[in-house]
Structure 1
Amino acid sequence: MENTLGVLLLSHVGFSFMEDLIGTVTARGVKTCVLSSLPEPRHQVSRPEQLIELADELHVTSEHVLTPEDVDAYIDQLEATGTSVQCCLTVWEGYRHLMASANARLGVPDLDEKQILKLRDKLTLRNRLADVGLTRGRASALTPTTLAERQREGGRYFVKPVSGIASFGTFPLTPETTWSELERLTLEARSDTVYANTFATTAGPFSQSGTDLNNGADSAVSAPSGVGCEVEFLIEDYVPGQEFSFEVVVVDGDPYVVAVHEKCEVTESTGTVLENACVSPPTTLSQEEVAAGIRWTTRALTALDLRWGCFHVEARYASSGWDLIEVNPRVGGSLISPSVAALTGGPGMLDLWLDLLLTASQPGGFLKTLKGLSFGMDGTTPSPNATFFRVFFTGPGTIREVGLNDDLPFQPLLSHVLLKPGDVVEASSREVFLGQVLWRMDLADRDDLLAELLPASMRAIEIMYETESG
């Protein structure tokens, strides 16, 4: 029986950047093997048909969430039929621990499964880094008592899920924030087929010993017993400053910062935070401030003993220095990976992560490429390019028309319009993506071009909704 090399890709309900991932694997001449959880009802026929046209192998499970048993059984099936699985990769944070477990089985250097679960516990992570002086903020479990205490104190605080994604349930604390609002968000998270498993903390496959926040009547917000997943919230000291993200690849304990993105537009509202636009390299930082950010990021990753993998480190910078938002053990969402490709003129973050996994046992050639792409410790980038991208979100309603605006200062490098006429968008406390648009420009010309592009890009995707009759 012929032994074919393959890469295992984990898909959540049929999506999770599958087109991009499949293309990245196929470009390396390796077989693509997709394991997907059951899509939502409206996609259960169409999405598997689309995936089987793209992938070499596809298996769809009978449930909306993948389990460790699903992953092990699929690897067994592939190996029994002549496919030698080289590594496992997913961009869905709720499956990152499954990826780590699979790579451990396959002998591929990666983070430990327990490390992934600890990183996803943002309450413990915040306080752990505070203990070693890498963040000035601290966090507590959100309970009726801690909510009332923080409101009486009158300081600045931020609320977020202990484990979460897509900025759902993340917002600044106000005097108007109520416990019933948190209960409503909890119920909404639990009922969301796509996102529910990412909010699990002390129940189900994300159970962590020593992290039980449900003690007594004054416990953190959680689902009733026997219902799928637990949802818990934390409250933390507000981190001031401008937002940035560091796109990092770590090889055997050595971090390489491939890109630094500045979140040049962020909207904080009740229930969520929307990251509207990013530019790279940053426009508001000096070379010395970027260098300080790289040193801070390196210290944080070292303190957490994160020796392998791809990371999207979210931070804020103020006059007091660098501080933490989150450490995500994955590629950044939206157009972060294509932005990196446009910045480097070569590989994006998905390419780099896959190449790390495929070459981790002998990373010599990969390391040479990675070093040539990465920022220096002095805060300089080898790239002559700059990138800017804008992400569009939408509110509830039925879409009548939607499309890319052709009246822009200059044409984008890449655009995605993710919804179509006739789509119905329900009200939600998580971000609902409409589309995204990416531009590349010469770094030397960036500031002049951005002055015109920033306001013009706000109308890059145009949308009209059906109006109510009568």
Structure 2
Amino acid sequence: MLLLSHVGFSFMEDLVGTVTARGLKAYVLSSLPEPQHQESRPRALADLADDVRTTAGHVLTPRDIEDYLDHLEAAGASVLCCLTVWEGYRHLMALANARLGVPDLDEKQVLQLRDKLTLRNRLADAGLSRGRASALTPETLAARRREDGRYFVKPVSGIASFGTFPLTPDTTWADLERIAAEAHSDTVYASAFTTDPGLGAPAGQGPHPRTAADNGAKQDAPAGDHVGLGVDFLVEDYVPGQEFSFEVIVVGDEPHVVAVHEKCEVTEAAGTVLENACVSPPTSLSQEETAAGIRWVASVLDVLGLGWGCFHVEARHAPSGWDLIEVNPRVGGSLISPSVAALTGGPGLLDLWLDSLLTARRPAGFLKTLKGLSFEADGTTQCANATFFRVFFADPGTIREVGPNDDLPLQPVMSHVLLKPGDVVESSSREVFLGQVLWRMDRADREAVLPELVPASERAIEIVYGTECG
């Protein structure tokens, strides 16, 4: 298996474990880690995988993929398929699988999904979205601010809710310049803000010279004085309703909804959207509404011609029906995959995606397993379990103490604390993950468990900030 790693990470420990559990070798191609990890991460990857190559740049390129596959083939390795969970490399995964003869999306389809401006309007034209989107310029920003409607701003191609927020009368062009500057200066995320696979700001490259800091106090750029941000933004009609995600595996044009997560707490902050907690199966949907959602997802995938792959389809449901947030051609982040494993009592979403690739040429046996785990067309599921997980985000400051809290009404099945004492969290327009905790319960007991667990879960990870390390 060829695994693509961005700056040395991208859940490599989980991916390599999933691969080696099947008796396969793991070959890792990684872009150059950030300076503070350039010694430790290549060593850690070498301890994990059977072969590792780290490139000289912070962003992998198609040439890197071709060269590494040439190297592996010359060494006599038989590479079965390629996988990555880093969305910015999903088109590279598609290129590798095309060379290996593995059914998958093609590069063009991946890049079209990442162009959220075109995607929104394409689905609106097909009657599958009630909203439309426009490129954000000083002129369209001023026009939307004068209108009474609700609008949402996001990068045309982005990741991890970086720079996504509701438009308000106080939003200025300087706000967009500030967010674009942050995106360009972020070694990890910079390359994710383009749908052009040949582009991506290299490490150390600054943003456009006219930033919010240069402007001083908030002000709008004059109409017609559009200075390029280096990051394209869109403004779209606000999608109302409760938020959900559909976890989907598609094999041979047949979609299978493995799980539906309800985002029971979502915080819309000034420069990002924080998804704080999820429950699955959903608590606020009827069987009929779930079935309608499954039909709607199938229609979206059909219109977009997405016949293979794993998808994390984010949507909202309102009395008017289902509407799209975005289609991610990968597993969902945070604890989505482990939540699926807790629901099924077996494979997680990452396992299912990998198995769909390994069996792509002869999928009959895998399809039987997949159908047994997935929702029926009528909105019912055979899973007897329910899950709840909470994601914790750090505030700006220096962490003095951080750790799990064991005084909870139900003990979690998984708990990750991602930061440590002494870490300094900077103010940013993207979320900074502190940790995440997952609980599993019998579905029949959920209504009795959740009312106490949800508020108690807010203290599942305890953190103290200070100016010095304790």
Determine if the TM-score, normalized by the shorter chain, exceeds 0.5.
Answer: yes
1:55 aligned residue (28, 49, 60): 49
Counterpart residue type for residue 168 of structure 2:
T
1:196 aligned residue (190, 213, 234): 190
2:5 aligned residue (6, 11, 15): 11
Secondary structure at the counterpart of residue 95 of structure 1 = helix
Deviation at 1:147, TM superposition (A): 0.4
The question of whether the paired residues in 2 share the 8 Å contact of 1:183 and 1:221 is answered with no
Match of 1:290 in 2: 290
Residues 1:221 and 1:98: Cα distance change in structure 2 (over 3 Å): farther
Secondary structure at the counterpart of residue 266 of structure 1 = strand
1:432 aligns with 2:432: yes
**1-side partners of 2:12 and 2:128: how far apart?**
35
Match of 1:137 in 2: 131
**1-side partners of 2:150 and 2:226: how far apart?**
20
Match of 1:166 in 2: 160
**1-side partners of 2:307 and 2:432: how far apart?**
34
1:96 aligned residue (90, 100, 106): 90
1:112 aligns with 2:106: yes
Alignment gaps of 5+ in structure 1: 1-6, 207-216, 224-229
**1-side partners of 2:82 and 2:28: how far apart?**
10
1:20 aligns with 2:14: yes
Match of 2:62 in 1: 68
Secondary structure at the counterpart of residue 243 of structure 1 = strand
1:44 aligned residue (20, 38, 46): 38
The question of whether the paired residues in 2 share the 8 Å contact of 1:142 and 1:220 is answered with no
Secondary structure at the counterpart of residue 165 of structure 1 = coil
Counterpart residue type for residue 119 of structure 1:
L
Query: 1:354-404, CA deviations, whole angstroms, 9 ceiling, x for partnerless residues?
Result: 001111000011000000000000000110000000000001111111100
Deviation at 1:425, TM superposition (A): 1.2
Deviation at 1:82, TM superposition (A): 1.4
The question of whether the paired residues in 2 share the 8 Å contact of 1:221 and 1:231 is answered with no
Residues 1:319 and 1:97: Cα distance change in structure 2 (over 3 Å): same
Deviation at 1:154, TM superposition (A): 2.0
Query: 1:260-309, CA deviations, whole angstroms, 9 ceiling, x for partnerless residues?
Result: 00000000011000000000000000010000000000000001000000
Deviation at 1:51, TM superposition (A): 1.3
Q: Percent identity?
A: 77
1:302 aligns with 2:296: no
TM value normalised by structure 1: 0.93
TM value normalised by structure 2: 0.93
Q: How does 1:317-332 map to 2 (within 5 A)?
A: 317-332=317-332
**2-side partners of 1:335 and 1:26: how far apart?**
21
Match of 1:312 in 2: 312
**2-side partners of 1:48 and 1:121: how far apart?**
32
The question of whether the paired residues in 2 share the 8 Å contact of 1:220 and 1:232 is answered with no
Residues 1:358 and 1:468: Cα distance change in structure 2 (over 3 Å): closer
Match of 2:418 in 1: 418
The question of whether the paired residues in 2 share the 8 Å contact of 1:263 and 1:275 is answered with yes
Match of 1:456 in 2: 456
1:81 aligned residue (75, 85, 89): 75
Match of 1:402 in 2: 402
**2-side partners of 1:279 and 1:415: how far apart?**
16
The question of whether the paired residues in 1 share the 8 Å contact of 2:398 and 2:468 is answered with no
The question of whether the paired residues in 2 share the 8 Å contact of 1:397 and 1:465 is answered with yes
Counterpart residue type for residue 451 of structure 2:
A
Deviation at 1:204, TM superposition (A): 3.0
**1-side partners of 2:228 and 2:383: how far apart?**
47
Aligned residue pairs, count: 448
**1-side partners of 2:161 and 2:227: how far apart?**
17
Q: How does 1:242-253 map to 2 (within 5 A)?
A: 242-253=242-253
Counterpart residue type for residue 346 of structure 2:
G
**2-side partners of 1:429 and 1:337: how far apart?**
25
Match of 1:368 in 2: 368
Secondary structure at the counterpart of residue 459 of structure 1 = coil
**1-side partners of 2:90 and 2:227: how far apart?**
24
Match of 2:278 in 1: 278
Deviation at 1:410, TM superposition (A): 1.4
The question of whether the paired residues in 1 share the 8 Å contact of 2:61 and 2:198 is answered with no
Counterpart residue type for residue 7 of structure 2:
V
**1-side partners of 2:20 and 2:279: how far apart?**
29
Match of 1:339 in 2: 339
**2-side partners of 1:287 and 1:98: how far apart?**
38
Residues 1:361 and 1:202: Cα distance change in structure 2 (over 3 Å): closer
**1-side partners of 2:298 and 2:385: how far apart?**
24
**2-side partners of 1:137 and 1:221: how far apart?**
27
Stretches (4+) displaced over 4 A? 217-221
**2-side partners of 1:173 and 1:371: how far apart?**
41
The question of whether the paired residues in 1 share the 8 Å contact of 2:344 and 2:373 is answered with yes
Residues 1:219 and 1:23: Cα distance change in structure 2 (over 3 Å): farther
The question of whether the paired residues in 2 share the 8 Å contact of 1:343 and 1:383 is answered with yes
Counterpart residue type for residue 412 of structure 2:
P
Counterpart residue type for residue 68 of structure 1:
P
**2-side partners of 1:203 and 1:99: how far apart?**
12
Deviation at 1:54, TM superposition (A): 1.1
Residues 1:219 and 1:198: Cα distance change in structure 2 (over 3 Å): farther
Secondary structure at the counterpart of residue 85 of structure 1 = coil
The question of whether the paired residues in 2 share the 8 Å contact of 1:71 and 1:102 is answered with yes
The question of whether the paired residues in 2 share the 8 Å contact of 1:249 and 1:310 is answered with yes
**2-side partners of 1:67 and 1:124: how far apart?**
24
Deviation at 1:50, TM superposition (A): 1.3
**1-side partners of 2:408 and 2:30: how far apart?**
38
Counterpart residue type for residue 361 of structure 1:
R
Deviation at 1:222, TM superposition (A): 3.7
The question of whether the paired residues in 1 share the 8 Å contact of 2:375 and 2:381 is answered with yes
